[in-house]
Structures are given as C-alpha cells and as structure tokens.
C-alpha cells in the first residue's frame, strides 16, 4: 500500500469516526417517510396535574378568553415574519388543563353565542312536538379564569463553542427563549380576584455539527459534514406553563381556604402543600437564568495542593516536574479577595539542568459565581521566586521578582470542604532562572494544581422574602352547585 493510499484510508477512517460521533443521532432520527397522525404529547406537568389529591367538590369555572398578550412575531434570519411566536389556541390549552386536573367543571363561554343559538333551535323544535317541555338552565360559574401569555422573550441566553484542527472539528450552539403566563381566578359573586398565579417556561434550541475538510492527496479533497438541530416546540412550552399555573391555582386555593380537598385526600394534600411551599422558597432564591445561591461563600479558605510545573526558557526541552504548595485566601467581599500563596517545585530541561525553586506570591482573587457550588476563579498578582534552600520554602541565592496570573475552578462539597484546580502563568523578571542568559526573552514557567480547600467562616446568603401561607379567615366557597330546574 503506497503512502498516498494509506493517507486517504486514514482520512476516511477519521471522517467516519467524527461523523458517527456527531451525526449518529441525526441519522437514526431523520424522517425518511411520512408519519401517521398520533395523540398529542404530554408534558411532565400533565402527570403531576393528574396526580393531585381529589377535590371535595368540583369548581364550576368559566373561561371567556385566555389570550396571547405578547404581540410577538417569530424571529427569522431576515428579521420578523407574520407568524406569531405564541400559539393562538391558549384558551383550548387552559380548558384541557382544567379537565386533566379533575378539580374543575369547565363550561363553555368562549363561543357562548353559538351555544345560545343552538339552544334556541332546540327549543323551537321541541315546542312543535312536545308542548310545555323546556331545556334545563345553563350552569353558571362560581369563578371566572382570566389572564394570558404575557411575555415571550427571545434569546435570553445564547452561546456555543467549537474546535477545529487542520480542517477537522466540531461546534455546538444553543439559544434559550422564555414564555411567561399569568392566571387569575375571579369570584362571580363579588368580582374579587381570589388568586393570581405566575409561571414561566424556557424554550431551548441547540445545534451540534462536525466537519472535515482536508486534502488527502494532491488534487484530492475530502470533505464531510454532519449535524443536528433541535428546537423545543413552543406549543408544548406554553402548555406546560399553563398546566403549572393551574396546578399552582389549585394548591394555593386549598392553602387559602378557597376550596377544599376530599376528606380521604387530606394527608396527600398536606404533602402536596409542603412540597409546593418548598418549591416556592427555592424559586424565590433563583434568578431568571436559573441560577440559585446554593452555598454561603467563606471568609477564609486554606488551600493545599499538589501539581506539576513546566519550564520554558533557554533550553529547548520542556519537561514536566512535580510541585506542591499552599495558599490562604481572605475575601473582602463574596466576590473579591486577597491571596497569599507559597509554592515549591522543580524546573528542569531533560539532559540540561534541574533546579528546585520556591515562590512567595500575593494575588488578587476573583470568584465569578461565589454562591454556586461550582465557581470559576481568576487571579493575578506579583511575588518573588528563588532557588530553594535546605527547606522547601527557604530562598537561596538571588531572588527575582515575578508577575503571575491564572484561572481555575472550585467545587464546594459542603460549607467546610471543597476542591480546587488551577493553572497559572508565572513570569519572572529575569533570564537567569535556569542559570543561563541567552536570547531576548526572560524565562517563565506554568504551574497546574489540584488540591483540597478548607473553608473557615462564611458570608451570609442574601435574604429572600419568606414565603408564608396566607392565614386568611375562611371565605365563601367558590364552588357552585349545579342548578336544578323548577318543576
């Protein structure tokens, strides 16, 4: 097998691996033929809505119009189109959610004129054949459900990443939209707004692709590409938000004595109320991007670590050698702090030189997400480096000033213990760190570490408004019995 053929075979194998890794999902899910009609998909909230405890008596509810109030049109590559971003059938979705819950008797009000016209026809027809017989009266509603989809926010988060090397690579992109729903219950007797519920749901779109573009031989170009794009259906997102609003309306109505669960479901309702209050407390601590303050950042952090150092200087060979050290972080605020770091390690070039050096550094440290368990770290500062003496942190010989900076990531397993990994660039202001002065650039070295962090003292978490159950006096039930016609 000649060299050109072997190169072509290797390139084909590489392209096959890249394509199979990134495109197998697209291959097995690509539509190859028309599909039959099927029943509509359910959301995770549909299941929890059906599993709610039973009602003591169902609530007669009317829905006149549950509108799309956003006025938002679909975004296209050239601007906006004439299609709306939110489905216009939200009233139908709400009526279906009311039925799924088992707590409501929904009555027709959106097209009540059609119903009244049909009753007139029935009444006139019956009067011709059965004199004196009348239709039963229509049900009247105990509550009216109002509200709508009030917001559709596009591109609240966008991003992606990718890598390409010698014509082979892959990339991913994502976008997140957000839909917001408000639902309120109004008493038909007094016009009082009994309860208002606010829910939201994100809509995720993401793209994954991989490609290969390479000359395998002279005048022979190999090019392959595969990818997959998925978008969460907007109708399902609106459905889930409305179902969550109905679920919240039922639970908060029971909490505030607006309606009552069945006697045999009292225990289950108590558990449902407790879970709902816990969920509301969590959501009060969560921002619009889904980030929640999980841990209280520490005042002091003691970090002991081990790692590797790599020398770059006047010798060509760059060899990895071990290092270890410790640092103490004192945080002025949850985000900014001051770090004192001491480290020792070996700088070496294989077959040329080996020298153990120690450094003492002072840094400014920045935690980008101090209240999260995972937080990126940035640090920058200055210090001194010299050859180690008889003890690891004893300087011997000439001492040189240096500047350093780096990045890292820290995971807080608990309020007392965490783990940290960093990589730092260290630039001494000398070219004699390796014992040789040559060239126009100073010596420098990289240090990577992994170690244990011990937290001492803590900042307090930002206080959120407590979620308390409304202890209102019992109100007249919104449940309306079915009227019986007079004899």
Per-residue pLDDT at 22: 45
Q: Give the mean model confidence (pLDDT) for residues 463-474.
A: 46
Per-residue pLDDT at 29: 64
Q: Is 44 in a helix, a strand, or coil?
A: helix
The CA distance from 109 to 61, in Å, is 10
Per-residue pLDDT at 80: 64
Enter the tokens of residue 286.
Answer: 């969560």
> Band of the pLDDT at 466, cuts 50, 70, 90?
very low
State pLDDT tens for residues 377-432: 999 999 999 888 766 666 777 889 999 999 999 999 888 899 999 999 999 998 88
The CA distance from 386 to 398, in Å, is 6
Per-residue pLDDT at 377: 94
- Beta strands at 298-312 and 220-231: parallel, antiparallel or unpaired: unpaired
Of 63-72, 203-212, 461-470, minimum mean pLDDT range = 461-470
Per-residue pLDDT at 449: 95
Q: Indicate if the alpha-carbon torsion angle 286, 287, 288, 291 is positive or negative.
A: negative
What percent of the chain is modeled with pLDDT above 70? 85
Which among 138, 142, 137, 61 has a CA at the least distance from the CA of 102? 61
State pLDDT tens for residues 128-165: 676 666 788 888 899 999 999 999 988 888 999 888 88
State pLDDT tens for residues 25-61: 555 667 777 888 888 888 899 999 999 999 989 999 9
HSE-up (13 A, CA, CB side) for residue 403: 3
Task: Catalogue all structural domains in the chain, each as residue range(s) with its CATH number.
Answer: 3-24+43-284 (3.40.50.10610), 298-458 (2.40.160.20)
Per-residue pLDDT at 32: 73
Per-residue pLDDT at 393: 62
* Dihedral class, residue 290 (left if φ above 0, else alpha if ψ from -120 to 50, else beta): left
pLDDT of 215 over the 60 cut = yes
Q: Is 9 in a helix, a strand, or coil?
A: helix
> Between these two residues, 166 and 94, which has the higher pLDDT value?
94
- Average pLDDT score over the chain: 83
pLDDT of 96 over the 60 cut = yes
Q: What residues does 366 pair with on adjacent strands? A: 336, 378
| Furthest-apart CA atoms within the chain: distance in Å | 119
Q: Which residue has the tokens 């040559």?
A: 438
CB 367: neighbour CB atoms within 10 A? 23
The CA distance from 43 to 360, in Å, is 57
User: Treating both helix axes as pointing N-terminal to C-terminal, what angle do 234-255 and 90-101 enclose, rounded to 10 degrees?
Assistant: 50
Which among 193, 185, 187 has a CA at the least distance from the CA of 140? 187
> Band of the pLDDT at 197, cuts 50, 70, 90?
very high
> Band of the pLDDT at 441, cuts 50, 70, 90?
confident
The CA distance from 286 to 297, in Å, is 17
> How far, CA to CA in Å, does 147 sit from each of 110, 215, 354, 432?
14, 61, 74, 74
Enter the tokens of residue 299.
Answer: 């005042």
> Band of the pLDDT at 242, cuts 50, 70, 90?
very high
């Amino acid at each position: 097998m000649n060299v050109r053929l072997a190169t072509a075979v290797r390139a084909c194998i590489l392209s096959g691996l890249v394509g199979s890794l990134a495109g197998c999902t697209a291959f097995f899910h690509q539509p190859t033929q028309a599909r039959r009609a099927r029943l509509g998909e359910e959301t995770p909230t549909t299941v929890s809505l059906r599993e709610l405890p039973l009602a003591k008596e169902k609530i007669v509810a009317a829905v006149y119009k549950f509108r799309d109030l956003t006025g938002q049109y679909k975004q296209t590559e050239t601007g906006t189109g004439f299609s709306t971003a939110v489905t216009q059938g939200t009233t139908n979705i709400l009526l279906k959610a009311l039925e799924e819950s088992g707590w409501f008797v929904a009555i027709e009000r959106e097209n009540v004129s059609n119903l009244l016209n049909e009753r007139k026809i029935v009444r006139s027809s019956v009067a011709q054949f059965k004199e004196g017989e009348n239709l039963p009266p229509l049900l009247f509603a105990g509550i009216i459900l109002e509200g709508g989809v009030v917001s559709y926010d596009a591109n609240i988060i966008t991003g992606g990443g990718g890598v390409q090397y010698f014509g082979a690579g892959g990339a991913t992109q994502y976008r997140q939209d957000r839909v917001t729903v408000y639902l309120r219950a109004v008493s038909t007797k007094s016009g009082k707004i009994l309860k208002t519920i606010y829910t939201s749901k994100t809509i995720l779109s993401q793209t994954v692709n991989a490609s290969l573009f390479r000359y395998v031989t002279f005048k022979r170009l190999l090019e392959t590409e595969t990818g997959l794009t998925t978008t969460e259906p907007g109708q399902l997102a609106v459905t889930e938000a409305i179902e969550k609003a109905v679920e919240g309306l039922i639970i908060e109505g029971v909490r505030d004595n607006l309606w009552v669960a069945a006697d045999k479901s009292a225990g289950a309702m108590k558990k449902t109320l407790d879970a709902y209050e816990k969920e509301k407390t969590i959501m009060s601590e969560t921002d619009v991007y889904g980030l929640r303050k999980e841990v209280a950042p520490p005042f002091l952090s003691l970090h002991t670590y081990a790692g590797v150092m790599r020398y770059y200087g006047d010798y060509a060979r760059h060899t990895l050698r071990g290092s270890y050290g410790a640092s103490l972080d004192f945080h002025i605020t949850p985000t900014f702090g001051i770090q004192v770091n001491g480290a020792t390690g070996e700088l070496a070039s294989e077959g040329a030189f080996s020298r153990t050096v120690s450094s003492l550094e002072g840094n400014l440290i920045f935690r980008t997400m101090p209240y999260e368990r995972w937080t990126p770290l940035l640090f920058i500062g200055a210090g001194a480096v010299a050859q180690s003496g008889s003890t690891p942190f004893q300087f011997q010989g000439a001492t040189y000033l240096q500047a350093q900076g780096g990045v890292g990531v820290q995971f807080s397993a608990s309020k007392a213990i965490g783990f940290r990994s960093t990589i730092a660039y260290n630039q001494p202001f000398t070219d004699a760190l390796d014992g040789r002065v040559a060239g126009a650039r100073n010596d420098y070295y990289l240090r990577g570490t992994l170690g244990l962090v011990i937290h001492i003292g803590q900042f307090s978490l930002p206080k959120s408004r407590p979620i308390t159950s409304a202890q209102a006096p019992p109100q007249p039930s919104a449940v309306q019995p079915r009227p019986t016609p007079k004899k």
